[in-house]
Amino acid sequence: MSEKKKFTIEYEIKSSPRILYTFLLEPNGLAQWFADDVNIREQVYTFTWDGEQQKAKLVNARENKLVRFKFIDDEPQCYFEMEIVQDELTNDVALAVTDFATEDAMAERKLIWDNQIQYLISVLGA
């Protein structure tokens, strides 16, 4: 089994960090773009895609800045993080996504994120 490698992709998003953050943290916000259904219980999020469930623990959250989730059945070093990056001069907002994938799955993972974030942007009306 090949080892997963960390990667980060950044997306420009025309939204305020405060609004964007609710779509990264709140189950009903996440369910609008990230998964078909999202439930939360004691900091554990259950994401559903096409009837398949995956559980992830919210391991870090900084208000209007970032969320980090760790899939319960994933390798110990792996997580996925969405960080809101705001340029101090222009106030432009970007979303930096950090995730892990094997070399074989890397291109596909990035494509999945591209699609998800495009969906998020359309939901935000940005």
- Asked if the model's pLDDT at residue 126 lies above 70, the reply is no
Rg of the chain's alpha carbons, rounded to an integer? Answer: 14
Model confidence, pTM: 0.93
Identify the structural domains of the chain with CATH numbers, from first to last: 5-124 (3.30.530.20)
Q: In the prediction, which pLDDT does 78 show? A: 95
Q: Which of 69, 66, 76, 78 is nearest to 105 (CA)?
A: 78
Share of the chain above pLDDT 90, in %: 92
Q: What is the distance of C-alpha 79 from the center of its chain? A: 10
Q: Which has the higher per-residue pLDDT, 21 or 42?
A: 21
Q: In the prediction, which pLDDT does 1 show? A: 62
